[in-house]
Amino acid sequence: MLVHKATTGSTNADAGALARDGAPHGSAVWADAQTDGRGRLGRTWESPPQGNVYLSIVLRPTLPLDRVPLLCLGAAVVTAGVAGPHYRIKWPNDVQSPDGRKVAGILAEMELERGALRHVIVGIGLNVNAAPDLPTATSLLAVDGATRDREGIVAALLDGLLSICADLERAPDDVLARWRRASSTLGKHVRIGSIEGLAIDIDPTGALVVATDHGVERVLAGDVEMVRRHDA
């Protein structure tokens, strides 16, 4: 089931309502515009009616709870692949243009029932034809000047999300390897909150592994800032 709306508050909220009503794995909502789009860490996702894709899918995976965050990383792999071969992923799931500007963000929200996973809603906001007026953001159109078929993008994203969800159930290491190959973060000196060091890997739960001056740290959430290190 795929529901298309001209305007809605939030496709994640809409997909969540469908899931609670029993919508099956793979059901999805996409919209031309959102009035209450949400991003990571409680932020707002600007969602103007200018030809972008705002898409949320209901997933009912058989994953341990500590592996559910891998759906975010997998969704970033899919989105970067749909965007094009030169797009990269800033940990955990921001998709960036070749010059490092953001073209897509991903928000995953899970719901539990008696301690067991009931469903996960994975939302993707992809700037196809327009982007917020920010120096850190861009759109696919601005990058390459090519007109994209939004319905084709939605279909490719949905196929990719269902495929990578299945891959995470049977071969999560393969998905992590694909994320590593697309990463713009690994091998860079980074700062996340009070933690600063070299981003060396992601672990089996998707946490960022950072080698600091005081040892190795696992970072579960936060904003990555690329920093230049001036060694003495």
Give pLDDT, residue 13.
93
Superfamily for the 2-182 domain: Bira Bifunctional Protein; Domain 2 (3.30.930.10)
Query: How long is the chain?
Result: 232
Asked whether the predicted pLDDT for residue 24 surpasses 90, the reply is: yes
In this predicted structure, which of 30-44, 107-121, 155-169 has the lowest mean pLDDT?
A: 30-44
CATH class, domain 189-226, is: mainly beta
What is the per-residue pLDDT for 20? 95
Give pLDDT, residue 207: 94
Return the biggest CA–CA distance within the chain. Answer: 60
- Reading the block at residue 130, the tokens are 């327009």
- Helix (H) or strand (E) holding 151, with range, is helix 150-170
Nearest residue to 76 (alpha-carbon basis) of 178, 209, 159:
178
| Backbone angle region of 114, left / alpha / beta, with phi > 0 → left and psi within -120 to 50 → alpha | left
| Whole-prediction pTM | 0.90
Q: Please check whether the two domains, 2-182 and 189-226, share a CATH topology.
A: no
pLDDT tens string 95-141: 999 999 999 999 999 999 888 899 999 999 999 998 888 899 999 99
Q: Is the pLDDT of residue 89 over 50?
A: yes
Residue 25 reports pLDDT greater than 80: yes
CA 221 to chain centre: 13
107 strand-pairing partners: 123
Q: Which of 197, 52, 194 has the alpha carbon at shortest distance from 126?
A: 52
Q: Can you give the residue ranges of every domain in the chain?
A: 2-182, 189-226
3 state DSSP class of 57: strand
